[in-house]
Structure 1
Amino acid sequence: MSDDSGLWLLAAGPAGATALYWALYRFYRNTDKSHSFEHETEIDAKPVTGSDRRVDSISGTQEKRIRGDNVYEYRKRVARVSSGDD
């Protein structure tokens, strides 16, 4: 009798894992069906608009906290949103 009959079981593990990995990769990535955005989409670029207006400047401050913070006022930070049906 030959002991080669159980070898297929040892080969089935890595082969099955490889097949499962490839099937899941193809299912979730579906690279053959995906939209090639860079090549199939036309984008009309427009010039950037905006301004560099200076709002406020604080220099040389020694304060350890920011004025007006609400770190310890958690009821003001985490307020319930009313739905209007109340």
Structure 2
Amino acid sequence: MSDDSGLWLLAAGPAGASALYWALYRYYRNTDKSHAFERETTIEAKPVTGSDRKIDTITGTQTTSIAGNNVGAYRSRVQRDTG
């Protein structure tokens, strides 16, 4: 029996790794299935609504946070749109 019979096994490792890398790259990148969002998607602009109202003026840098902030209470900050 010759020693050349095991060489295919040594070549199968890098070839299989390259094939797996290419298959995963194609699966997750989807470069052939992407579309040009700017050209193929239409978005209807709506008029801007709202108002600007001055609440308070803070001068200087004595206060490190805004009074009444709700940074930690994210459940009360984020609410469902009912309209």
TM-score where L is the length of structure 2: 0.51
Query: Post-superposition shift, 1:68?
Result: 4.3
The whole-number CA distance in structure 2 between the counterparts of 1:33 and 1:60 is 53
The whole-number CA distance in structure 2 between the counterparts of 1:24 and 1:69 is 45
Gaps of at least 5 residues in structure 2 are 76-83
Deviations, residues 13-61 of structure 1 (Å, cap 9, x unaligned): 11101111111222232222233323323456x5984789462211135
Which residue identity lines up with residue 60 of structure 1 in the other structure?
G
Gaps of at least 5 residues in structure 1 are 80-86
Q: Does 1:62 align with 2:77?
A: no
- Aligned CA RMSD, in angstroms, stands at 4.0
Which residue identity lines up with residue 10 of structure 2 in the other structure?
L
Question: What SS does the corresponding residue of 1:7 show, helix, strand or coil?
Answer: helix
Q: Structure 1 vs Structure 2: percent identity of aligned residues?
A: 64
Which is higher, the Rg of structure 1 or of structure 2?
Answer: 1
**Alpha-carbon spacing, 1:47–1:17, altered in 2? closer, same or farther (3 Å):** same
Which residue identity lines up with residue 11 of structure 1 in the other structure?
A
Aligned length: 74
Query: Post-superposition shift, 1:67?
Result: 3.8
Matched residue, 1:31: 31
